[in-house]
Amino acid sequence: MTEGIVHMFDVVAAQGHGSVWTVLFIGFCFGAIILYSRLDKFEKMAGFMIFEDTLAPRMAMMTVALSGVGFYALVQGGFAEYQVKPTLLGGLLVGAVLFGMGLVILGKCPSAFFVSVSEGRVDALVGVIGGMVGGAVFTLTFPWIKHLMGPDLGAIRLSDVLGGYELMIVLVLSLTLFVVALLIPTVDYHDPADENPKR
Amino acid sequence: MPRTIPWWAGGILMSLLFFFTFSEWGAGRPIGASTGMAYLSEVLFGLDADSHEYTALIETSGAWEGVMLIGVFFGGLFMSLFVTKTFHISFIPTLWKARKNSSVPSRMVWSFIAGFLLVYGARLAGGCNAGHILSGGSQTAVSGLIFTVVALGTGMITGRFFYKRKGSCS
């Protein structure tokens, strides 16, 4: 296992997507923002889907609204390139269904559960272990299920489907998300454990 | 330091981090997490790239996200110890107690199943909420939009049946 971890760092150092320290720094900030906004909490993520808390959708909409415009500007300025994931329709639909069920039951996503563990939540740790087994089972079953994941529609963006209008799409999507994020009322699930962490 | 930040501040900070990561000054790629999760599990269980097709397939992106997730853990740990001071050992979330039950074994079994579904589902879909919803949505990717609608829709339906209000059903 130690070999595998050393190999992981070697691969990152060699691939030109930032140095190992840059990648660790990005992760550190990502985890810090998730914890500081309390997005790692079950009450925020599962609470959103049972309509008892609105932090997660508002924050996600704000992030995508700003990033949408920012990414467009970065790409236009030649400082970044779009890297769109392929639309493998079968895998995408079945995977999203399983993911949605897991998300509402565990109440965390595959980065927030690490943040939750760092806060001392044992149930999140069990979720991570479940995820580790899930990842391993996927790797082992991949040769059989890869045939069921298609059809592959390619790495397409909305502008490819609508035949252009890229700037317009980015602006409309960002503005819509921004306005909706502002209009959604604040519903904050009151967690007594936040006031008295010893409980 | 305040012990939490409002949603809009979280959104602004998150998008600034995304700009940095996405641009050539940072990593020149969007943020994702679930590929890293699968990669870490391959490291843990010793599923090497020579004999496993999927390990070879995610060799570069998985390693990047795996290292990032190590950073995520320490970022969370730093904040929970020194800023929010919320670090404490806990077993069951408050809302779970209110809507489901107070049994530790029940929460643990469901956590394991849910963690499994999360990562297995994310790998099947080719990404999780970080890769598909946040990064995908920001790039107006069709895959990201489909994932967002289906995953959140399923989550809301599942939540309705899974967390029945106490007393509202016989």
Alpha-carbon span A62 to B78, nearest angstrom: 25
Chain B residues with CB-CB distance to A76 below 8 A: none
pLDDT tens by residue, A71-87: 999 999 999 999 999 99
pLDDT of residue B26: 94
pTM of the model: 0.94
pLDDT of residue B170: 40
CA nearest neighbour of A99 among A62, A73, A138, A151: A138
pLDDT at B165 over 70: no
Q: Which of B116, B157, B166 to mutate to test the interface with A (most CBs of A within 10 A)?
A: B116
pLDDT tens by residue, A120-129: 999 999 999 9
pLDDT of residue A194: 77
Residue B161 forms contact with A (CB below 8 Å):
no
Residue A184 identity (one-letter amino acid) = I
Q: Tell me the two tokens of residue B78.
A: 């730093």
Residues in chain A: 199
Residue B56 forms contact with A (CB below 8 Å):
no
- H helix or E strand, kind and range, residue A151: none
Contact A101/B89, CB-based, under 8 Å?
Answer: no
Alpha-carbon span B58 to B77, nearest angstrom: 27
Residue A171 C-alpha, separation from nearest chain B C-alpha, in angstroms: 11
Chain A residues with CB-CB distance to B71 below 8 A: 23-31
Residue A159 C-alpha, separation from nearest chain B C-alpha, in angstroms: 8
pLDDT at A192 over 90: no
Look at phi and psi of residue A53 and say left if phi exceeds 0, alpha if psi is from -120 to 50, else beta: beta
Q: Which of A142-151, B103-112, B136-145 has the lowest mean pLDDT?
A: A142-151
Considering only the C-alpha atoms of chain A, give the largest distance between any 2 of them, rounded to a whole number of Å: 57
pLDDT of residue A199: 45
Q: Which of A95-99, A105-109, A186-190 has the lowest mean pLDDT?
A: A186-190
Residue A162 C-alpha, separation from nearest chain B C-alpha, in angstroms: 11
CA A179 to centroid of chain Cα atoms: 22
Residue A147 forms contact with B (CB below 8 Å):
no
Q: Render the burial of B134-146: b for 16+ CB within 10 Å, e for the rest.
A: bbbbbbbbbbbbb
Residue B143 forms contact with A (CB below 8 Å):
yes
pLDDT tens by residue, B120-149: 999 999 999 999 999 999 999 999 999 999
Q: Tell me the two tokens of residue A154.
A: 């390619």
Residue A28 near residue B71 (C-beta atoms within 8 A): yes
Residue with tokens 């409309």: A172
Residue B39 C-alpha, separation from nearest chain A C-alpha, in angstroms: 8
Residue B38 forms contact with A (CB below 8 Å):
yes
pLDDT mean over B89-98: 94
How confident is residue A197, by pLDDT bands cut at 50, 70 and 90?
A: low
Alpha-carbon span B110 to B96, nearest angstrom: 11
CA nearest neighbour of B114 among A119, A136, A40, A104: A104
Cβ-in-10-Å burial (0-12, 13-18, 19+) of B28 comes to: middle
Alpha-carbon span B34 to B128, nearest angstrom: 6
Residue A31 near residue B72 (C-beta atoms within 8 A): yes
Residue among A16, A129, A135 minimizing CB distance to B123: A135
